[in-house]
Each structure stands twice: as C-alpha cells, then as structure tokens.
C-alpha cells in the first residue's frame, strides 16, 4: 500500500509558540567541514538540509532563522562544497549539505563530497531528520534519486520540502505533487508528509519550524 504523503497540516498554537521561541534564539554560522574529523561535538539535536544546486536551500535556511545572510546563496551550482553547521540557540544544529548535481565539478571532487556525505549521514548519532528540498517547478529528478537512495541506505528519515511554491499555479502544483508522491512511495526512509514552502512569501515556514521544534 502506497503512503499518501499528504501536505503537513498547520500546527496548533502551542506548537507554533514553542517553535517561535526556538527560532527566536541567535542563529550563527559555526563552521564548514570538509572531513569527518572536523565535525563539531554531537552534543545537541541536529537536522540537515539537502537539495540539488539552486533549489533554494540557502533562502530556506535564512527564512527559517529570520536571518537574511546566514546561509550564503550562490548562483554557481556546486559552490557549496562543505558541510556547513549553524547553531540555532544552544539546542539545535542546522546543517547545510553540499548541493548535488555538480554539472561542472571535477569527478574526483564529486566523489570526495559523496564519500563525506555518506560518512556524515551514517555516522551522526544526533541527526534526527534530513529535509530534502525539491523545486515545485520541476518535481523529483534523476539527480534527486541519488540522495534519496543514500538516505535510505543510511537509514536516515527524510522529509520532502517543496520550495518556490509561489512560482507555480495551483493546477501545475497538483501535477508535480502527484509525481513527487509517486517517487517518494518507493523510498522506505521517506517521512509520510510533505511541506510546501515559499521562502519569498513565507509560506510553510512556521510549519517547518514546528516540525523541527517537536523532534526528539
């Protein structure tokens, strides 16, 4: 039986307030990591964000934290070559994974990033959920399947976050959602809810904050 993967419902007021307080804390860039030896101590809950280049990952992290330039957006695909750690108050790490789909990157670099990603995903005990960002204009593409398979094999629960939802008309959005649901149904590590967002309009940001704030 296929999971329906409904859109995440709006949280109740108490959860919204709890999430607001968590994300009202100071957000700071901690460090960029290029090897497992550089990871910060696993001393708090963490969530990571994955997505192909230019899916809007930096914009989403900035919208979540309410900090305009916390995560630097780049117009060059594959520019983010490190695992970037951000502190959200004393309780949470937000982790920005390297954008995948490196059209212009040398093969040896791609393999190095993929190795690091696999080591991180498999070996981080405080990682509670990966959020995989999918552009609402395009749906899940072949390049996305690589990270989904990696998350399956690493036994890391991942949740699909649709970005740039404001760029697509309702009818087209429904069509893309159908394609995404079908693709997700083939992945055992997929969490059975989708979050629809627009960083520009603020859509879905309180819901995503609330999901993060209620992870244990």
Report the SS3 class of residue 126: coil
Whether the CB-CB separation of 22 and 213 falls below 8 Å is answered with yes
- C-alpha to C-alpha distance for 61 and 94, rounded to whole angstroms: 8
Domain assignment present for residue 120? The answer is yes
Beta bridge partners of 159: 131
Alpha-helix runs per DSSP H in 50-138: 57-65, 107-123
Residue 45 is part of a domain; what is its CATH number?
3.40.50.300
| pLDDT digit string, tens, across residues 46-87 | 999 999 888 999 999 999 999 987 887 554 444 457 899 999
Domain assignment present for residue 4? The answer is no
Domain assignment present for residue 161? The answer is yes
Domain assignment present for residue 113? The answer is yes
User: H or E element: which one contains 193?
Assistant: strand 190-196
Distances (CA, A) of 144 to 30, 75, 99: 27, 19, 11
Residue 68 is predicted with a pLDDT of: 82
Query: How big, in percent rounded to 5, are the helix, strand and coil portions of the chain?
Result: 40, 25, 40
Domain assignment present for residue 91? The answer is yes
Domain assignment present for residue 1? The answer is no
| pLDDT digit string, tens, across residues 148-192 | 999 999 999 999 999 999 999 999 999 999 999 999 999 999 999
Q: Which domain holds residue 158?
A: 13-213
């Amino acid at each position: 039986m296929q999971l329906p993967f409904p859109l995440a419902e709006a949280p109740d007021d108490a959860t919204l307030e709890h999430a607001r307080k968590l994300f009202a804390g100071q957000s700071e860039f901690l460090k960029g990591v290029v090897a497992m030896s550089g990871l910060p101590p696993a001393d708090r809950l963490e969530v990571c964000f994955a997505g192909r280049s230019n899916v809007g990952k930096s914009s989403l992290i900035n919208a979540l934290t309410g900090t305009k330039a916390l995560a630097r957006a780049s117009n060059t695909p594959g520019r983010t070559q490190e695992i970037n750690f951000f502190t959200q108050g004393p309780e949470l790490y937000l982790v920005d994974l390297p954008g995948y789909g490196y059209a212009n990157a040398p093969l040896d670099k791609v393999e190095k990033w993929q190795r690091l990603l696999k080591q991180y995903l498999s070996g981080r005990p405080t990682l509670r959920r990966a959020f995989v960002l999918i552009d609402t204009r395009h749906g899940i593409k072949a390049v996305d399947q690589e990270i989904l398979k990696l998350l399956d094999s690493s036994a890391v629960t991942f949740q699909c976050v649709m970005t740039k939802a404001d760029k697509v008309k309702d009818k087209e959005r429904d069509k893309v959602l159908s394609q995404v649901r079908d693709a997700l149904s083939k992945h055992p590590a997929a969490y059975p809810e989708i979050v629809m967002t627009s960083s520009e309009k603020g859509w879905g940001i309180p819901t995503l904050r609330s999901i993060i704030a209620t992870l244990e």
